[in-house]
Chain A
Amino acid sequence: MILLSPLGAVGRSVLGLLGAIGRVALFSGQAVGHIFRPPFYFKEFLQAVLYIGYFSLPVVGLTAFFTGGALALQIYAGGARFNAESVVPLIVAIGMVRELGPVLGGLMVAGRVAASIAAEVGTMKVTEQLDALVTLSTHPMKYLTVPRVVAATLTMPILVAIGDVIGVMGGFTVGVTRLDFNAATYLNNTIDFLESWDVVSGLLKAAVFGFIVAMMGCYHGMNSARGAQGVGRATTNAVVSASVLILASNYILTELFFAA
């Protein structure tokens, strides 16, 4: 029996994980179903666009700028081993638009937005505001989840596109001021070798990450346990699950987009 107990623990964990995946899938399916059925709450959608998109711009921009700069330094140092310092502009651009822009942008937005949505919706649940919505003939899924999920899915690509430009400019700034690149050559190398699919694939990833961030925030908020501890746990779970799902889906999307 003692030997079997670790197996039992593993089994319980696996069953728990599968159960959670099932619940998230059902929740997501319901939310997507509500996107296409009226009523639509445009005011709540616009507020979510402002909050998720516009107000996340500083954090995404700063992350992209410093990442682009660090990337330029790293690639220059690595490339110097093969006398390939000239690839810095191209690798910085590809690295930013394909991977680091969407992934780091997604993770930063997960930290900011998923936490905030989970805390807000979780507090609404424990203070009976979700029940109040129902009694006022308003479906919480339509009023709270759908506007946030649609807003995040649509604004994340725009946010990441701006982040990509800022990240490339971060690399450009470091390249020109610290690595003695000619400014015009750096920009020409970036533009000439970057393909449209590099950019589009990153933006598609960003849309998926936006969907994940808002969905995890709403799911954990709506399933928050009672009390401050319950809301705190929901907030943590939202950020952790959004981050893990972003990294996992990034791998799957990269396989889909770029596997030979």
Chain B
Amino acid sequence: MIELIDIHKAFGAKKVLTGVNLTIPSGESMVIIGGSGTGKSICLKCILGLIKPDSGTILLDGADVATAERDAFLARFGMLFQGGALFDSLSVWQNVAFRLLRGSLKRPKAEAREIAIEKLRRVGLSPDVADLFPAELSGGMQKRVGLARAIAAEPEIIFFDEPTTGLDPIMAGVINELIREIVTEMGATAMTITHDMTSVRAIADRVAMLHDGVIQWSGPVADMDASGDPYLDQFIHGREDGPIEAVR
């Protein structure tokens, strides 16, 4: 279980997070929604330790992540980045098997390659993609490779940052379905950041809406449409009128 307790983060005078409280139960898929620039990615990066919050506590299974042993802590996570964040200088299979080729999870090269090809197959890519380089792949294929890399070491917790951004609706649907299937079959805890409502309905068990630096609403995805929260209502229906100011 991941718990965010009163997280604050500012960049200069701009306060991005002003007291975020959120609990993500183990084995559940939590989707965080919110407008652009509301701090969704900052929340995620705070959990991973990529950004240090100004104040507040983040607990993973009851232990403060700030004092956790970094390698052991990060070994529990997998992450799919918005743009894929594949390493240009490495081939596809080396990207997927990155964690398996070095560090505490190191395996023999042949075994790591075999696992990488199996994970590529799991995300719908054929083995002949393995020796290509990221620049030779389409956006959708790069997302799939990113997904394969995120699950390569079978992590307990997987983060997805805007998994469908930049993809056509059909490819976005495929990626959403893959994420849902993988999270379910691995029994992983998932946290997804998106403002794509199709993704939300496909991926989420629970939804939290971030607005004005705090969690405005959170609850099961089934309750989202009848929440009665004017912020959430405006957001999910994409209305210009409402409490969220729409800048023209």
Contacts and interface: CB of A to CB of B under 8 A. Distances in A.
Interface of A: 39, 41, 123-124, 127-129, 131-132, 134-138
Given A39-B103, A131-B45, A131-B50, A136 B98 contact: yes
B19 interface: no
Interface of B: 45, 48-50, 70-71, 74-75, 77-79, 81-83, 85-88, 98-99, 102-105, 149
A135 B102 contact: no
Contacts of B45: 131
Q: Helix, strand, loop or mixed for chain B's interface? A: mixed
A137 B85 contact: no
Nearest to B152: A136
Contacts of B74: 134-137
Nearest to A135: B79
Contact of A129 (B79, B87, B103): B87
Given A41-B102, A137-B104, A138-B103, A129 B75 contact: no
A41 to B, nearest CB: 7
Given A137-B71, A138-B103, 6 more contacts: A39-B102, A39-B103, A132-B79, A134-B49, A137-B99, A138-B102
Contacts of B104: 137
B5 to A, nearest CB: 22
Contacts of B86: 129, 132
Contacts of B83: 127-128
Contacts of B49: 134
In the A-B complex, the 8 residue pairs with the closest CB atoms: A132-B85, A128-B85, A137-B74, A135-B79, A128-B81, A129-B85, A136-B99, A136-B98
